[in-house]
């Protein structure tokens, strides 16, 4: 049959999919949440890239875990916390807003504000 | 005012280049190694041989956890070094990652057992909780805290560069 | 033997380029004889260097594996096209190409500018010394001329199959052409500062070169994006990967530059901006080269990590940039215009535009640098990705577009009243409102940012269409290509927003002869075939898709295993239509024989490519009209 020469593919598949359910969601909103989330979670094994762009075994595992958590009605923030506890905060492409990241989020607006200030100030002078 | 702006532009550019100079020369970023501490996750899994359920260890004050599998080729390469470590008395727990039980047992019988005990993590649940991304990976655990995590094959060089410093600093494995 | 000739020619060219620079410093650059001399020496240097590269290409085509680099990246089984493109598939060779293009732009500038054009000699001198710096980098740290003698291998290594793709093969050349084209603006800006004569209208000359380079840079980025879309299999086209960001920053600066140039070429207003931007664009291009080649940033794009290379590049680029900025500071008085920027004049809008683009560049740089700084201080890794960049880019880009819309009627150096209630502005406003409202009601577009993008993008498109209307029917003069490029911008904004809003995907679990339904389309798994390719083995899945209105077509995604390295790649199957792409990839097979199949519906993706093409073509035609005007 065709299965025989496809063993090289199964080598990748079999260690992953031992009787696990596939991407089953309770509703479309959850499905959309999932696809949106995986774009902002980093693949911990890849040099760079999100879970959405990776089919590494660990990415698949994390995706399944995310689905599990979504189906358990966990919020997006809870899911992010779950993953960052295990893989470090570097696994989140959104570094969040906290004491050490304030500068990241505020600097662009500050830059724009100061630049506009200088521009109008110099024109008045 | 323009003098201030010009000086600002110059000093920001200079610091920019200086930062990169510092960053390139910094060599504390050992690729694959992480020293962030976290709690050793709770788990309930079976021992590979006896099917007895085990939970977190309190046997030793400190130990290594080595993630391996019979399908992992690099693990075979790493295996010799692990045997050497274990013969020196270093306690190593094995985490058999997403592996068929028989395949794993055969592999150990064939190549040797460096582990004090082997956890059979068939679904990779504990591995996921520990932040494992593949095999082989090795963790250093002390007082139920993960204090070092290396992704990749451990050999003489890695052991010396990554694990020895923190082992000495934390003063564990006193036998060595 | 030939490789030694190539190396020798390169060393010789390095020496001659250096001579050009020295002459431009010690001799009187306003003496026509000196200019002729420098110009000729430059031409000869370039020809020698080009010849060395042609020899190199020849060695690659003829499978000369005594050259280490060719042995590492090429192979006798490759088609000729890929033997050539393997030259720029890794660090040493792509650096070689980069420097060829750098000196090529210098050579083109050399030929097409008259020798009595002001600043020519100094510009050539600056381009020369920049080339020398990179040539030394090439020869000393990244030598492509190394040989494996006395026993060259029979055959080379196989090239990464992912790189054996026509689009990917031409993406680096077009990108490099764009990046290094700005050495001309850079050289001219510095030459202007050195010369110290504020009456020289260097902007007029540079505008031509900058717009062409801008078009190439846009093309290079678009090709990379397009390739990522159809090859990588996840349906995205922009990822905010650090290496994409370091290509985006020069593009942003370049866009600001070409606008600033049109202002300061007419009067000497905004010269400070234009000079600074000329320095900035090239500096950011160099910074991009540094980032991808120093190994600092982990990315799929980065070439081999090597701190020594990183330090050399850092030192050279640092020196070049700092000297330029010191020169800028020192000659600042030269740039200050005695004319004020009049409120609501075109210049004022361009100034605001420069500020907004400057903010975008600053934010991108911040996003790229932040993880590095954070890691340095806190010893902890952190990632900054799409959520940050989207949060900054969307509002600021829309704001810039609003300013653009308001600026359409503004005039040079005079105040214009933005008559909100004149016909074209009002008409555009009403049409845009209509479009937005229809989308909201009929197509349930409900996200706020999507609606805003739709509205603002439409404002731009409609307003510029009305400009074209008055050009045709009222003979009101306008620069048609500029109008088209901006219509392209409006379309790009709308396409990106709608693509983001409407697109969706699902991972189906399907067996042969089964049918699944997704988004009113019936997807039947018709057949599975094994195919033997030239250097791979593949599994091909045949799907038949039938849409609600009876439209039927087949899609055949593949999974390939390449013999040489055992690499497995997925080949996407795409059905393109104006409104959407239907995009399928196959995943793994499950134990029960069923397959995981990823189906994506990507809306308006063709519009994105079309908008980019519109901007690129407009840029090239616009440059042509500038050239004609100069002659």
* pLDDT tens-place string over residues B30-80: 778 888 888 888 888 888 888 777 777 655 678 899 999 999 999 999 999
Indicate yes or no: CB of C386 within 8 angstroms of CB of A40.
yes
Contact (Cβ atoms closer than 8 angstroms) between residue C193 and residue C275: yes
Contact (Cβ atoms closer than 8 angstroms) between residue C258 and residue C207: yes
Q: How far is B53 from chain C (nearest CA, A)?
A: 28
Contact (Cβ atoms closer than 8 angstroms) between residue C411 and residue C404: no
Indicate yes or no: CB of B20 within 8 angstroms of CB of C296.
yes
Q: Which of the two residues, A110 and C155, has the higher pLDDT score?
A: A110
Report, as an integer, the average pLDDT of B110-133.
92
The answer as to CATH 3.50.50.60 being correct for domain B30-170 is no
In chain C, what residues touch A123 (CB-CB under 8 Å)?
Answer: 340-341, 343
Q: Please state, rounded to an integer, the average pLDDT across all residues of chain C.
A: 90
Q: Among residues C276, C122, C271, which one has the least CA distance to residue C198?
A: C271
For the cut 50, the answer to whether the pLDDT of residue A21 exceeds it is no
Interface A:C, Cβ pairs < 8 A: 135
**Which pLDDT belongs to residue C507?**
87
Report, as an integer, the average pLDDT of C547-570.
86
Q: Among residues A20, A66, A72, which one has the least CA distance to residue A43?
A: A66
In chain B, what residues touch C311 (CB-CB under 8 Å)?
Answer: 21, 24-25
Report, as an integer, the average pLDDT of A86-92.
92
- Per 3-state DSSP, chain B is made up of helix, strand and coil in percentages (nearest 5) of 40, 25, 35
For the cut 70, the answer to whether the pLDDT of residue A29 exceeds it is yes
Q: Which residues contact C219 (CB under 8 A, 6 or more apart)?
A: C174, C178, C616
Tally the C-alpha atoms within 13 A of residue C471's C-alpha that lie toward its C-beta. 14
What percent of chain C clears pLDDT 70, i.e. is strictly above it?
97
* Closest alpha carbon within chain A to B5: A118
Q: Which two tokens stand for residue B101?
A: 């039980």
Mutate to test the interface with A, among C367, C388, C504, C558 (most CBs of A within 10 A): C388
C-alpha C516/C-alpha B129 separation (Å) is: 35
**Which pLDDT belongs to residue C341?**
80
Indicate yes or no: CB of B10 within 8 angstroms of CB of C318.
no
Indicate yes or no: CB of A94 within 8 angstroms of CB of C388.
yes
Indicate yes or no: CB of C322 within 8 angstroms of CB of B9.
no
3-state secondary structure (DSSP) of residue C127: helix
For the cut 60, the answer to whether the pLDDT of residue B175 exceeds it is no
Concatenating the DSSP letter of every residue in A2-66 gives -TGGGHHHHHHHHTT-SS---S--SSHHHHHHHHHHHHHBB-SSSSS-BGGG---HHHHHHHHHH
Predicted interface score ipTM higher than 0.95: no
Contact (Cβ atoms closer than 8 angstroms) between residue C601 and residue C583: yes
Q: Does C239 touch chain A (CB under 8 A)?
A: yes
User: Domain extents for chain B?
Assistant: 30-170
C-alpha C539/C-alpha C561 separation (Å) is: 9
Report, in angstroms and rounded to the nearest whole number, the Rg of chain A calculated over CA atoms. Answer: 21
Q: Among residues B147, B86, B138, which one has the least CA distance to residue B113?
A: B86
**Which pLDDT belongs to residue B97?**
94
Interface B:C, Cβ pairs < 8 A: 47
Number of Cβ within a 10 Å radius of residue A102: 10
Q: Which two tokens stand for residue C92?
A: 């040493």
3-state secondary structure (DSSP) of residue B150: strand
3-state secondary structure (DSSP) of residue C338: coil
For the cut 80, the answer to whether the pLDDT of residue C546 exceeds it is yes
Q: Please state, rounded to an integer, the average pLDDT across all residues of chain B.
A: 88
Q: How far is A57 from chain B (nearest CA, A)?
A: 8
């Amino acid at each position: 049959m065709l299965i025989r020469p496809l063993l090289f593919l199964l080598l990748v598949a079999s260690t992953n999919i031992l009787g696990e359910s596939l991407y089953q969601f309770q509703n479309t909103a959850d499905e959309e949440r999932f696809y949106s989330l995986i774009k902002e979670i980093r693949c911990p094994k890849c040099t760079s890239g999100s879970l959405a762009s990776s089919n590494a075994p660990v990415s698949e595992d994390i995706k399944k875990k995310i689905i599990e958590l979504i189906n358990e009605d966990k919020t997006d923030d809870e899911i992010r916390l779950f993953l960052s506890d295990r893989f470090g905060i570097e696994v989140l492409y959104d570094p969040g807003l906290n004491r050490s990241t304030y500068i990241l989020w505020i600097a662009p607006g500050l830059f724009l504000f100061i630049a506009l200030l200088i521009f109008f100030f110099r024109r008045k002078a | 005012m323009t003098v201030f702006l010009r000086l600002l532009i110059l000093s920001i550019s200079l610091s920019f280049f200086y930062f990169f100079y510092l960053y390139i020369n910094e060599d504390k970023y050992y690729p694959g190694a992480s020293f962030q501490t976290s709690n050793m996750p709770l788990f309930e899994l079976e021992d590979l041989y006896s099917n007895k359920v085990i939970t977190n260890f309190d046997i030793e004050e400190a130990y290594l956890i080595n993630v391996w599998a019979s399908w992992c080729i690099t693990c075979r390469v790493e295996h010799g070094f692990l045997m050497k470590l274990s013969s020196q008395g270093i306690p190593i727990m094995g985490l058999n990652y997403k592996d068929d039980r028989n395949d794993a047992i055969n592999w150990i019988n064939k190549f040797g057992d460096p582990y004090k005990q082997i956890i059979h993590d068939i679904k990779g649940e504990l591995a996921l909780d520990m932040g494992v991304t593949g095999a082989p990976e090795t963790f250093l655990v002390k007082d139920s805290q993960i204090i070092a995590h290396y992704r990749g094959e451990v050999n003489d060089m890695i052991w010396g560069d990554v694990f020895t410093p923190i082992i000495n600093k934390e003063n564990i494995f006193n036998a060595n | 033997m030939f490789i030694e000739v190539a190396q020798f020619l390169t060393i010789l060219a390095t020496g001659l380029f250096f001579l050009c620079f020295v002459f431009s410093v010690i001799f009187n650059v306003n003496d026509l004889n000196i200019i002729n001399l420098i110009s000729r020496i430059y031409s000869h240097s370039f020809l020698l260097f080009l010849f060395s590269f042609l020899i190199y290409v020849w060695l690659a085509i003829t499978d000369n594996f005594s050259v280490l680099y060719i042995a590492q990246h090429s192979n006798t089984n490759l088609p000729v096209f890929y033997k050539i493109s393997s030259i720029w598939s890794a660090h040493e060779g792509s650096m070689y190409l980069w420097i060829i293009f750098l000196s090529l732009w210098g050579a083109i500038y050399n030929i097409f500018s008259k020798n009595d054009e002001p600043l020519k000699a100094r510009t050539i001198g600056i381009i020369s010394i920049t080339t020398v710096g990179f040539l030394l980098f090439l020869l000393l740290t990244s030598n492509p001329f190394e040989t494996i003698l006395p026993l060259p291998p029979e055959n080379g290594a196989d090239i990464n199959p992912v790189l054996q793709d026509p689009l990917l093969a031409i993406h680096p050349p077009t990108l490099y052409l764009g990046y290094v084209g700005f050495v001309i603006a850079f050289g001219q800006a510095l030459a202007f500062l050195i010369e110290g004569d504020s009456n020289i209208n260097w902007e007029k000359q540079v505008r031509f070169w900058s717009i062409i380079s801008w078009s190439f840079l846009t093309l290079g980025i678009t090709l990379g994006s397009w390739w990522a879309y159809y090859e990588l299999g996840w349906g995205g086209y922009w990822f905010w990967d650090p290496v994409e960001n370091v290509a985006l920053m020069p593009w942003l600066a370049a866009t600001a530059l070409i606008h600033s140039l049109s202002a300061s070429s007419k009067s000497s207003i905004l010269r400070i901006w234009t000079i600074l931007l000329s320095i900035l664009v090239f500096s950011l291009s160099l910074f991009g080269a540094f980032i991808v080649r120093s190994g600092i940033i982990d990315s799929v794009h980065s070439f081999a990590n090597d701190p020594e290379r990183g330090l050399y590049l850092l030192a050279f680029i640092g020196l070049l940039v700092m000297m330029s900025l010191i020169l800028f500071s020192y000659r600042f008085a030269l740039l200050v215009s005695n004319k004020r920027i009049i409120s609501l004049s075109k210049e004022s809008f361009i100034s605001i535009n420069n500020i907004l683009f400057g903010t975008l560049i600053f934010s991108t740089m911040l996003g790229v640098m932040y993880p590095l700084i954070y890691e340095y201080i806190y010893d902890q890794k952190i990632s900054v990705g799409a959520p940050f960049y989207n949060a900054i880019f969307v509002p600021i880009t829309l704001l810039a577009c609003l300013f653009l819309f308001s600026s359409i009627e503004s005039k040079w150096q005079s105040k214009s009243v933005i008559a909100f209630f004149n016909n074209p502005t009002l008409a555009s406003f009403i049409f845009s409102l209509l479009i937005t409202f229809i989308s909201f009601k009929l197509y349930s577009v409900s996200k706020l940012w999507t609606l805003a993008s739709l509205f603002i993008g439409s404002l731009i498109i409609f307003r510029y269409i009305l400009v074209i209307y008055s050009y045709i029917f009222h003979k009101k003069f306008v620069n048609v290509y500029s109008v088209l490029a901006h219509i392209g911008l409006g379309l790009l904004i709308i396409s990106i927003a709608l693509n983001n809003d409407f697109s969706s995907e699902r991972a189906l679990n399907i067996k042969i002869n089964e049918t699944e339904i997704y988004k009113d389309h019936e997807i039947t798994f018709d057949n599975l075939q094994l195919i033997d390719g030239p250097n791979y083995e593949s599994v091909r899945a045949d799907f038949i898709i039938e849409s609600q209105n009876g439209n039927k077509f087949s899609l055949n995604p593949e999974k390939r295993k390449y013999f040489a390295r055992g690499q497995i790649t997925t080949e996407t199957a795409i059905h393109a239509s104006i409104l959407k792409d239907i995009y399928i990839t196959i995943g793994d097979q499950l134990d029960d024989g069923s397959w995981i199949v990823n189906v994506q519906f990507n809306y308006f993706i063709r519009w994105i490519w079309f908008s980019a093409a519109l901007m690129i073509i407009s840029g090239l035609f616009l440059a042509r009209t500038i050239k004609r005007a100069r002659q």
